[in-house]
A = this chain, B = another copy of it.
Amino acid sequence: MQQITLNVQGMSCGHCVNSIENSVGEVTGVDNVTVVLEQGKVDVVFDENKTSVKEITDVIEEQGYEVV
């Protein structure tokens, strides 16, 4: 397991939190997602043999947010 903290722009409300937690949470290999809205941070725990930082950031950007 690996843990990353991504800085994400554009998250503004509880709907955004749900949108990211649900979409990232559905990625195979992702064990846990926590969004800290006030800090613009997304913590992800994942199995690096099953997914990658690239796949996770792609999913976030598909939802309309920017990983910076």
Contacts and interface: CB of A to CB of B under 8 A. Distances in A.
Interface residues of A, number: 8
A6 to B, nearest CB: 18
A19 B16 CA distance: 12
Contacts of A19: 15
Q: How many copies does the complex hold?
A: 2
Interface of A: 10, 12-16, 19, 64
A52 to B, nearest CB: 27
Nearest to A65: B13
Nearest to A12: B12
Nearest to A10: B13
Nearest to A14: B64
